[in-house]
Amino acid sequence: TDRKKLHTAPVGQVFRLRPFHVLVATGGGYAGYRKYEDYKLEQLEKRGIEVPVKLASEWEVALYKSVPTRLLSRAWGRLNQVELPTWLRKPVYSLYIWTFGVNMKEAAVEDLHHYRNLSEFFRRKLKPQARPVCGVHSVISPSDGKILNFGQVKNCEVEQVKGVTYSLESFLGPRISTEEMHFSQAPPGNSFQQQLVTKEGNELYHCVIYLAPGDYHCFHSPTDWTVSHRRHFPGSLMSVNPGVARWIKELFCHNERVVLTGDWKHGFFSLTAVGATNVGSIRIYFDQDLHTNSPSYSKGSYNDFSFISNNNKEGIPMRKGEHLGEFNLGSTIVLIFEAPKDFKFNLKAGQKIRFGEALGSL
């Protein structure tokens, strides 16, 4: 009788499940399941077994989007800025090097103690001789990475991986006014794809390059061209690894991306940097007004910026191999450009490529 009474609150007051928590837990668990499925798929591909395409349903995409990847990417970005104690730098960076197979012999600074934080290590520069730029071919790889797909654009659809496509117009957005660009006016009624082709007898080509976390994170100009316009699409930051790209149709249209458009000697040329999980930060060196992965954004929106002004009517000239921008970790570069019908790619789907190596030429 002299025992103390234990007072307990109702279970509902102690543990309340909120919709946000349910979405995060469910979405996070499903994302983990998808990672496991991607791993199994990679093992089958290594054994030479072709796996049929199985696209995600609308509810699966919605469930994946429920994971707060934008918030997590911003948190990851802040973590990367934290200065590491000198004694901790070598163990942390060595683990990353071992996990992702980084070749530090190519780095301009090989001493791991030199990099104060993870961000500096991710954005490390290479030795000048590490990536010779091909002078023979007209288009080179803008980055290190893996070739996911390439070829002609057909029926206004572009392949992100074999058998999985996305809409060219959804990806690039509405056509930019001819007053801002050097393009000729296309006849009315033509398809979006035909409107981008400015010279008779030319075709539209594409190439998709996936940058893994262990790859060199900077990207460069793939050819001699002039950048006239930038279009920034805020969006999701889902993973863009080949397994997810094979699973989610129009993945690149869902994700945040920066589209640079302009022209080269054969007409229309564009380079798009696609964001991904933990890669909310996309930097273009000559564009100080660009701010990616902002906390507030409107779904489906985009913002434009013209590099053509009264003082600069030509835009931003870029030379082949010149530094263009960088990712925070690793992601995807998509090239879409106009060229004569005899343009040929010197590539194989799935091959590894390094910045400076030839993509194709006439």
Q: For residue 23, what pLDDT is reported? A: 44
Distance (Å, rounded) from C-alpha 328 to C-alpha 53? 30
Q: Is pLDDT of 166 > 70?
A: yes
- CA dihedral defined by 78, 80, 81, 86, rounded to 10 degrees? 140
Highest mean pLDDT of the ranges 79-93, 152-166, 220-234, 273-287: 220-234
Q: What's the pLDDT at 25?
A: 54
Give the DSSP per-residue string, 66-83: TS-HHHHHHHHHHHHHSP
When mean pLDDT is compared across 67-71, 114-118, 147-151, the lowest value belongs to: 67-71
**Cα-only R_g, the chain:** 23
Mean local confidence (pLDDT), 109-133: 89
Most confident range (mean pLDDT) of 32-36, 210-214, 271-275 is 271-275
Please tell me which residue, 188 or 130, carries the higher pLDDT value: 130
Q: Report residue 29's pLDDT band, with 50, 70 and 90 as the boundaries.
A: low
Q: What is the share, in percent, of the chain residues with pLDDT greater than 90?
A: 37
Residue 207 CB contacts under 8 Å (≥ 6 apart), including other chains? 147, 149, 150, 334, 335, 345, 347, 359, 360
pLDDT over threshold 90, residue 224? yes
Region of poorest pLDDT, from 36-45, 103-112, 116-125, 189-198: 36-45
Report pLDDT for 30.
47
- The full 3-state SS of 133-145, as one line of letters, equals CCCCCCEECCCCE
Tens digits of residue pLDDT in 296-313 = 766 668 999 999 876 667
* Cα→Cα distances 220→50, 144, 319, Å: 33, 10, 9
Torsion-angle region of 100 (φ positive above 0: left; ψ -120 to 50: alpha; else: beta): alpha
- Residues 259-277 pLDDT 10s: 999 999 999 999 999 988 8
pLDDT at 83 over 60: yes
H/E element, 307: none
Instruction: Work out the average pLDDT over 69-98.
Output: 88
**Distances from the Cα of 334 to the Cα of 24, 275, 351, angstroms:** 30, 11, 16
Mean pLDDT along residues 279-295: 84
pLDDT averaged over every residue in the chain: 82
Contact 173, 302 (CB under 8 A): yes
Show which residues are catalytic: 144, 220, 331
Q: Is 357 helix (H, G, I), strand (E, B) or coil?
A: coil
Q: Which of 166, 135, 140, 134 is nearest to 153 (CA)?
A: 166
**Mean of the pLDDT values across residues 163-189?**
70
**Statement: residue 15 has pLDDT above 50:** no
Rounded to 5 degrees, what are φ and ψ at 249?
Answer: -65, 140
In the prediction, which pLDDT does 100 show? 85
Identify the band that residue 68 occupies on the pLDDT scale cut at 50, 70 and 90: confident
Residue 11 has pLDDT above 50, yes or no: no
- Helix or strand or coil: residue 288? coil
Residue 172 pLDDT > 50: yes
Length of the chain: 362
Distance CA 301, CA 135 (A): 39
pLDDT surpasses 70 at 117? yes
What pLDDT is attached to residue 72? 82
What is the average per-residue pLDDT within 314-322? 92
Contact by Cβ (8 Å): 198, 181: no
How much is the average pLDDT of 20-48? 57
| 60-75 CB burial, b ≥16 within 10 A, e <16 | ebebbbbbbbbebbbe
Reported confidence tier of residue 237, pLDDT bands at 50, 70, 90: confident
| Joined tokens for residue 297 | 């954004």
How far is residue 224 from each of residues 193, 269, 317, 319, measured CA to CA in Å? Answer: 23, 10, 8, 5
- pLDDT tops 80 at residue 118: yes
